[in-house]
Structure 1
C-alpha cells in the first residue's frame, strides 16, 4: 500500500492568529481615521512585517524559522546592491520604504506557508 500524505493544521492556533490579524487591521483602520492628516505608510509596513514574522515564527518554531529569515536578509542585501548600482549611492531615506514593503510581503508569504508547518519533519 502507498503512503498517504496528511495535512495537519492546528485550527485553534490558526483561528487565534486570524483574530490577531483582524485586530491589527482594525487598529490600523481606526488610527487612519483619527489621524487623517498624518500618514506614515512605512511605519505600518514595518508593523505588518513584524506581526507576520512573529506569527510565522510561532508556527515554524525556532529551527525552521531561520530559513525565511535567511531569505529576508539576502533580499535586503540585494536591495542595497540595486540602490547602489542605480543611484551610485546608498541613502536610508530611499532604502527603508521598499525594504519594509518587501519585508511585509515576504513575511505574509512565510506566514501563509507556515500554516502547513505541521508537515515539516522534526529535527
Structure 2
C-alpha cells in the first residue's frame, strides 16, 4: 500500500511540475523578458499536503512546527539585521528554504514507523 501511495504522490508532483513548465512557456511567450516561472510557495504547500496524506495528523505536526519556528527565526533575524520586519526579501528566502525542508520531510516520510492503533 505504501508503494502505491508513493507512486501516486510522485505522479502528482510530476503533473504539477509539467503544469508549471507549461505555464512558464505561456508566460515567456507573452513577455519575452521573462524566462522562468517558479512558485516555491505552491511547491511547499503541495508537498506539505502530500506529507499530511502520507503520515497523517500525528507526524504532520513536526514539519509544521519546524516550518513555523523557522519563519519566526528568520523574521527575528531580519528585524535584527536591517531593522525591517517582514518584507519581500524575507518571503523569498523563507519559501525557498521551506520548499527544501518539505522535500526532505517528504523523502523521509516513508521511513517513519507506523502509528500504534488503539
TM-score range, shorter chain: 0.7 to 0.9
Per the alignment, residue 5 of structure 1 pairs with none
CA RMSD of aligned residues (A): 1.7
* 1:90 CA displacement: 1.1
1:94-122 superposed Cα distances (whole Å, 9 cap, x missing partner):
221111111111111111111223x2442
- TM-score, normalised via structure 1 length: 0.82
From 75, 85, 90, the counterpart of 1:90: 85
Alignment equivalent of 1:76, drawn from 71, 77, 87 = 71
1:40–1:92 Cα change, 3 Å = farther
- Whole-Å separation in 2 of the counterparts to 1:20 and 1:121: 25
- C-alpha separation between the residues in 2 aligned to 1:35 and 1:79? 31
Q: How does 1:40-79 map to 2 (within 5 A)?
A: 41=38, 44-79=39-74
Q: Does 1:26 align with 2:21?
A: no
In 2, the alpha carbon distance for the partners of 1:31 and 1:55 equals 22
What secondary structure, in the 3-state scheme, does the structure 2 residue paired with 1:65 have? helix
C-alpha distance in structure 1 between counterparts of 2:90 and 2:18, whole Å: 28
Higher relative contact order, chain-length normalized (CA < 8 Å, sep 6+) = 1
The CA distance in 1 between the partners of 2:50 and 2:86, in whole Å, is 31
TM normalised by structure 2 equals 0.86
Aligned to 1:6: none
Q: Partners in 2 of 1:109 and 1:59 — Cα distance?
A: 14
Structure 2: gaps of 5 or more residues: none
Distance across 2 between alignment mates of 1:40 and 1:84: 29
Secondary structure at 1:59 match in 2: helix
